[in-house]
Structures are given as structure tokens and as C-alpha cells.
Amino acid sequence: GENVEQHPSTLSVQEGDSAVIKCTYSDSASNYFPWYKQELGKRPQLIIDIRSNVGEKKDQRIAVTLNKTAKHFSLHITETQPEDSAVYFCAAHPGSSNTGKLIFGQGTTLQVKP
């Protein structure tokens, strides 16, 4: 069935360092891969997304890369700041469905130490 594996489950970095979170998906037809950030007690919010016809996308300090052959995608945060501390979720959209259904990874708790 459809599955998204996310690693690591927790990540602690020093302010200014880079952070990388990786996800692997099972459905080779998946075509849309969003990343959501959820601060403590808040709602998930989209921070970046990528579609299957693109290999990389960047937005200021955040970038996402996609390797369709290996069926994995990664979130890269550079020059981390304490306000980047949150839980990050990757997700994949099953490409074969005419729906908006998203399969989420289990989440990565990122802690940025000042």
C-alpha cells in the first residue's frame, strides 16, 4: 500500500548549521510532495512543495530535492534559526488518484539550539 517513511524522527542542530530531513515513498506514481511545518500547539502549515517534473526547488533558506528513481525526497534548511524549531512532515500524493489525498510521514522534531 501507500507509505511514506521519514527520517530522522528527531534532529538537534546548532543555530547556523544545516538540517536535512529525508523521506521515502512507496508509490512510484506519486507526483506531488509537500512539506509541512507544525509548531507546538499550532496547525500544520505548508513551507515548500515540489512536483514530480522538477528535481529541486528552493525558497530562501529552504530547499527540497526529489529523486524519482530512488523514490525519495529531502528537505534542506540552511543557516538554521531557533524559530525553525518545530515538527516537520513530508507527504506524498498518490499520482494515480483523482483526489487530494496525502500520505504523511511520521514527522521529524527539529530542535535548533541557540
- Interface positions with another protein (CB under 8 A): 6, 31-32, 34, 36, 42-46, 49, 51, 89, 91, 93, 95, 97-107
Spacing of C-alpha 1 from chain mean position: 20
Closer residue to another protein (CB): 34 or 74:
34
Cβ at position 68, least distance to another protein in Å = 15
Between 18 and 97, name the residue whose CB sits nearer to another protein. Answer: 97
Cα 10 to Cα 19, 22, 71, 94: the distances in Å are 11, 12, 22, 26
Q: State the nearest-atom distance from the C-beta of 70 to another protein, in Å.
A: 21
Burial readout 48-86 (b: 16 or more C-beta within 10 A, e: otherwise): bbbebeeeeeeeeebbbbbeeeebbbbbbbeebeeebbb
Decide whether 13 or 103 has the Cβ nearer to another protein. Answer: 103
Smallest distance, another protein to C-beta of residue 91, A = 8
The nearest distance, CB 71 to another protein, in angstroms, is 17
User: In this structure, how many other beta carbons lie within 10 angstroms of the beta carbon of residue 25?
Assistant: 25
